[in-house]
Amino acid sequence: MDCWFRNLPKIELHAHLNGSIRNSTLLELARELGEKGTIIFSDFEYVIRKDDRSLREVFKLFDLIHIVTTDHKTITRITKEVVEDFAAENVVYLELRTTPKRNDSIGMSKRSYIEAVLEGLRSVSSSSLDINLSSNDPAKCVAGTKMIYVRLLLSIDRRESTAAAMETVKLALEMKDMGVIGIDLSGNPTVGEWATFVPALKFAREQGLSVTLHCGEVPNPVEIQAMLDFLPGRIGHACCFQDEEWRKLKSSMIPVEICLTSNIRTETISSVDVHHFAELYKENHPIVLCTDDSGVFSTSLSNEYAIASSTFGLGKPEMFQLARIAFDFIFAENQVKMELIKMFESAARTLE
Ligand code: 6MZ
């Protein structure tokens, strides 16, 4: 890959924490659990190394990942590594999303899970990365000359009940001044009903949290239209839309988080050259390239930019503009937007 894409400052708005786990870390953790006899390592090894997973297999893999990553220490470690990996490829602003998990057997509550994530953000420091956490910006990491803003979105899993979704929203509100800025609805798209989540999502929005929804990963016109009528701050994927849904989306101008490799790997889109990126881009609809699950899909944000550039014939000026414009779709406060604008202005001078 042309290292220009790596040097390009980038904004990542759709990255699931546990889906972004390093393959090497996942293998190491699975091997350790295998040695303890908790799992049969060879079962994991096969699925971790498998490349072309269907959407169903991806969700099976997530269940496996969750077995491997349930303790606080591991969550902290994964968070640290994921932020370092994004910073290393010049992601300057990251909205990291994760589903707070409760596991009574090890004393994990949704709150202690998120505290472990925050601990991971604070521990982003090594010989190549320094962290500078100011009191008014708990998740601003200075990595040498690199700087990455990190904000958290708490995900509601589609398997959850209305009460569990509400619990996640309340937790997000309690952690608002610690870098939590919004709510995501995600999980297996064939599971759960939209109506289950509406009360919690409405409450989140009334209380000043931003909302993004996984929308249209499978054909479900009734749900897609209800989601668009909700007017979320952004949606992810938008793969299985029909004419009416496209019309609604385009008139709403809701920004779309585009995950090319993820959509191809899960066979949600048949091939990248027919991806709806092309049409949305041509029509100037707000879009942002994202990774979804950089570990699970063996990709990086730089790679997603390189793929879009080569597939859709976009030159470096167009790719720079695509990366830059994403500042407008972030959920963080205006002050961060202004900082990002400055970062892109200065990058424009060096990348020319
Ligand atoms: C829907 C997805 C997803 O929350 O444990 N997740 N949900 N569609 C996708 N695209 C294929 N990729 C990931 O990260 C992993 C969880 O994120 C959701 C799933 O619920 C998965 O279990 P966290 O950090």
Instruction: Give the Cα separation of 161 and 164 in Å (integer).
Output: 5
> How far apart are the CA of 100 and the centre of ligand 1, in A?
12
- Residues 120/80, Cβ–Cβ less than 8 Å: yes
Average pLDDT of the segment spanning 169-174: 98
Nearest atom in ligand 1 to the alpha carbon of residue 157 is 20
Catalytic positions, please?
Answer: 217
Question: CB atoms < 10 A from the CB of 132, how many?
Answer: 11
Decide if pLDDT at 137 tops 50.
Answer: no
> How far apart are the CA of 187 and the centre of ligand 1, in A?
5
The two structure tokens encoding residue 108: 């994990």
Nearest atom in ligand 1 to the alpha carbon of residue 268 is 11
Burial of 250 from C-beta contacts in 10 A (0-12 / 13-18 / 19+): middle
CA-nearest residue, atom 6 of ligand 1: 187
Residue 70, pLDDT score:
78
Residue 128, pLDDT score:
36
ipTM for this prediction: 0.99
Residues with a CB atom less than 6 Å from ligand 1: 16-19, 58, 62, 98-99, 155, 157, 186-187, 214, 217, 262, 266, 292-293
Instruction: Give the Cα separation of 246 and 325 in Å (integer).
Output: 22
CA-nearest residue, atom 18 of ligand 1: 187
Decide if pLDDT at 140 tops 70.
Answer: no
Residue 129, pLDDT score:
41
> How far apart are the CA of 170 and the centre of ligand 1, in A?
21
* Residues comprising the chain, all counted: 352
Kindly report whether the global pTM for this prediction surpasses the value 0.90.
yes
Q: How far is CA 286 from CA 10, 267, 327, 328, 329, in A?
A: 16, 24, 11, 9, 8
DSSP state of 39: S
The pLDDT tens digits for 3-33 are: 899 999 999 999 999 999 998 898 899 899 8
> How far apart are the CA of 18 and the centre of ligand 1, in A?
8
